[in-house]
Amino acid sequence: MAESRRVFNAYTTPFQQYDLEGPVQPEMSWLPISYDRKTGQGCYLMRMQPGAVTIAHEHQGMEEFLVLEGDLVDSDGTVFGPGDFVSYEAGTRHNSWTEGGCLLAVFEWRRP
């Protein structure tokens, strides 16, 4: 069992530069867990520094995330905080920003 288990610590595992919407966004970083760039599916952690803004994007599949720390404001002005689990259907177009920074667990997948 332990051979097939991987452990990622959100506070000690190094994050990578975030570039999932195209150009590198230096105010954001991510830690791929099971995310596959070819399929656009899987899980990752995303950290946004205070004031970071995502590039507007459209979801090809489902995008769901759990706010672990901080705040996230969606393009319609809705504010999410720790413990909020947000689910977007495929085809949703939006962008988000953070006032004080945040840490998210993101899950991207497609319905069967």
pTM: 0.92
Domain annotation covers residue 15: no
* CATH number of the domain within which 102 lies: 2.60.120.10
Q: What angle do CA 54, 41, 82 make, to 5 degrees?
A: 50
DSSP β-ladder status, 57-58 and 93-94: antiparallel
Domain annotation covers residue 84: yes
> Dihedral through CA 29, CA 32, CA 37, CA 41, nearest 10?
-120
Domain count of the chain?
1
Residue 1 has pLDDT above 70, yes or no: no
Q: Which domain range does residue 94 map to?
A: 2-10+20-109
Residue 61 one-letter amino acid: G
Mean pLDDT of 75-81: 96
